[in-house]
Amino acid sequence: MDAVGGEVNAKMLTARIRKERRSAGATSFVLDVSIEVSPGITILFGASGAGKSTLLDCVAGLARPDEGRIAAGGDVLFDSERGINIPAPKRRTAYVFQTLALFPHLSAEENVSYGLMDLGEEKRQERVEAILKAFRVEKLRKQRPGEISGGEKQRIALARSLVTEPRVLLLDEPLTGLDAELKAAIVDDLRAWNAAKGIPILYVTHSREEVDALGERVIALDNGRVASAGAPMDVLDAPRRKKLAQAAGFENLLTATVLDLREADGVMRVRLGESACEIEVPLGYAAAGNHVQVAVRAGDILLATERPHGLSARNVMEGRIVSLEQRGTMAIARVDCGVAFVVHVTPGAVRALELSSGHRVWLVLKTHSCHLVE
């Protein structure tokens, strides 16, 4: 393997990948991305089918890009022009799958030492010991994956990958199904481990909550392309594409016409769709008469059964409940205010306010809960 000249950071992962997926002869999906991942956690975010797992597979060497170049830790792993394609076992990229893929017939300890077969017995023991401690699973060493709980399995899968001293860590939704507290504890241990190693970690998720919790750099994928990249706030709170907006949990995406700009207040007034509804939204790069997209989360909308008074919120709209649907611990109300809104309320609120279809209601929207979409 030869060194990469001119990389800003030798530890960085850079990948330019183009890969087509064909079904029945026709191209059904194209992954076409160019990303740079610095040491630390970078989140790869997108709806399912956006190409996240394909991207990870290409970096790990489990899938072969049609063309492109992948480099990590100062070495070229793949280069279609120069005919370089390092096989997966030699790439030293660690990969934790969503299903974890722990070997069911091996104990936790044997799983962790699996990648260290070329090391001497003594050194191997030492490394396994250290990583089991770092991820707090040293008590489980003799147990098989079938006898271990979910969160601990995830810890062992992380330990198994990291004990090999990889130059990149790929995580494909490894913490799904864990509660927030457990998740945070594992991520803390991961961060502590990486403080010393400083390798790029690519963390795939489609959960908006995980992005908020991890809160570092985000690369948003949409339909095989990088939709945006940067800090979570920039990438997710100003969603640039409709699909991404929906993936990020903006249930309401409305087309609006800009009426006038109030630069001193940092707001502008817009009219929603063809309705008479006028609301105030944060100032954006737009002129009067322009069309903009406004995204609002269903959980950010307040619902009142009488016209509210004395509110700081600037936007109050009158409407009627079209349908009310109970889903788990949440009720989903569809409200017609001239334009249709989806509003999430608690079942308790439904009972207390005696909400039902046809009920007259007022919706309250804070200006900064209205997000402008390019």
Partner 1 sequence: MEALWLSMKLASCVAAILLVMGMPVAYWLAYSNWRGKFLLESLVALPLVLPPTVLGFYALVAMGPRGPLGRLWIALFGHGLAFTFSGLILVSVLYSFPFAAQPMIASFEGVDRKLLDASAVLGAGGLRTFCRVILPLSLPGVVTAAVLSFAHTLGEFGVVLMVGGNLAGVTRTVSIDIYDRVQSLEYGEANRMALVLLAISFSVLCVVYAVNRRVWTPWAAK
Which residues sit at the interface with partner 1, rule CB under 8 A?
A: 60-62, 87-95, 97, 99, 101-105, 114-115, 117-118, 144, 146-147, 160-161, 164
Strands 315-327, 217-222: pairing kind? unpaired
> 156 vs 286, which CB is nearer to partner 1?
156
Smallest distance from the beta carbon of 81 to partner 1, in angstroms? 25
d(Cα 244, Cα 83) in Å, to the nearest integer? 35
Residue 129 three-state SS: helix
The smaller minimum CB distance to partner 1, of residues 163 and 317, is found at: 163
* Closer of 102 and 286 to partner 1 (Cβ): 102
In which element (H, E) is residue 337 found? none
To partner 1, the closest distance from the beta carbon of 99 in angstroms equals: 5
Dist. CA 367–CA 177, nearest whole Å:
34
In terms of Cβ atoms closer than 10 Å to its own Cβ (0-12, 13-18, 19+), residue 205 is buried
Residue type, 28: S
Whose tokens are 């044997």? That residue is 110
Question: From CA 192, how far away is CA 166, in angstroms rounded?
Answer: 16
Query: With respect to partner 1, which residue has the nearer C-beta, 98 or 125?
Result: 98
Two tokens at 66? 């049609």
Q: How far is the CB of 60 from partner 1 (least distance, A)?
A: 5
Q: How far is the CB of 95 from partner 1 (least distance, A)?
A: 4
Sign of CA dihedral 343, 345, 351, 352: negative
95 versus 341: smaller Cβ distance to partner 1: 95
Closer residue to partner 1 in complex, CB, 103/198:
103
Residue 6 three-state SS: coil
| Least gap, CB of 76 to partner 1 (angstroms) | 18
Helices (H) and strands (E) in the chain, counts: 9, 21
Minimum distance from CB of 44 to partner 1 (Å)?
A: 17
